[in-house]
Amino acid sequence: MTNRSISTVVLILLFVLHAAPWLVRPYLIGGDEPHFALMSHSIAVDHDIDLTEDYLRVAAGSKEAGSKRAGTELDPHVRVVGDREVFSHPLGLPLLAAPLIALQQSLLPGSAPDFLLGLFGLTVTFAALLAGRDLLNRALGAGDLALGLYFASPLWFYSRTFFTEPFIWSAGVLALWLIDRKRDIAGTALFGIALSLKESALLAVAPVLFAFAISRGWKRTPILLAGPVVVAGIWIVKNIDVYGRAFETFQPFRMGDPLRGLLGVLFSPYHGLLVFAPIAILAILGLPRRKSLSGFLTDPVVVAWMVFLLYLGLTSCWKTWGGGSCYGPRLMIPAIASLAIPLAEAWRRHHDRKLFRNTFAFLLVAGFSIQLSVACKPYHLFWSPSIGKVMTATIYGPVAGLIIGALLTRVLLHRLNRDHREPQPGTPPRAAW
pLDDT digits (tens, 9 = 90+) for 45-69: 999 999 999 999 999 999 999 999 9
35 and 94 fall within a common domain: yes
40 and 158 fall within a common domain: no
In a domain, 316, yes or no: yes
286 and 363 fall within a common domain: yes
Are residues 135 and 432 in contact, defined by beta-carbon separation less than 8 angstroms?
yes
- Taking the alpha carbons at both ends of the chain, their separation in whole angstroms is 36
pLDDT digits (tens, 9 = 90+) for 116-164: 999 999 999 999 999 999 999 988 888 899 999 999 999 999 999 999 9
pLDDT for residue 248: 85
Q: Is 246 exposed, middle or buried (0-12, 13-18, 19+ CB in 10 A)?
A: exposed
CA atoms within 13 A on the CB side of 304: 25
Rounded Cα distance, 249 and 201, in Å: 12
153 and 50 fall within a common domain: no
Phi, psi of 273 (to 5 degrees): -60, -50
Handedness of CA 143, 346, 404, 276 (dihedral sign): negative
In the predicted model, what is the mean pLDDT of the chain? 92
In Å, how far from its chain's centre is CA 192? 16
Of 111, 143, 174, which closes a domain?
Answer: 111
In a domain, 398, yes or no: yes
Of 111, 127, 144, which closes a domain?
Answer: 111
Q: Whole domain around residue 136: which residue ranges?
A: 118-163+253-419
281 and 156 fall within a common domain: yes
In a domain, 177, yes or no: no
293 and 410 fall within a common domain: yes
Sites in the chain below the pLDDT cut of 70: 1-3, 5-6, 217-218, 290-295, 419-433
402 and 322 fall within a common domain: yes
Rounded Cα distance, 231 and 227, in Å: 6
In a domain, 372, yes or no: yes
133 and 106 fall within a common domain: no
pLDDT for residue 428: 41
Rounded Cα distance, 225 and 229, in Å: 6
291 and 397 fall within a common domain: yes
Are residues 271 and 384 in contact, defined by beta-carbon separation less than 8 angstroms?
yes
In a domain, 70, yes or no: yes
In a domain, 23, yes or no: no
pLDDT for residue 246: 87
98 and 151 fall within a common domain: no
Domains: count for the chain:
2
Of 77, 95, 111, which closes a domain?
Answer: 111
pLDDT for residue 214: 85
In a domain, 78, yes or no: yes
Helix, coil or strand: residue 72: coil
Are residues 102 and 94 in contact, defined by beta-carbon separation less than 8 angstroms?
no
387 and 298 fall within a common domain: yes
Count of residues in the chain:
433
134 and 58 fall within a common domain: no
In a domain, 219, yes or no: no
41 Cβ neighbours under 8 A, 6+ residues apart: 54, 64, 65, 101, 105, 113
Rounded Cα distance, 308 and 306, in Å: 5
pLDDT for residue 427: 44
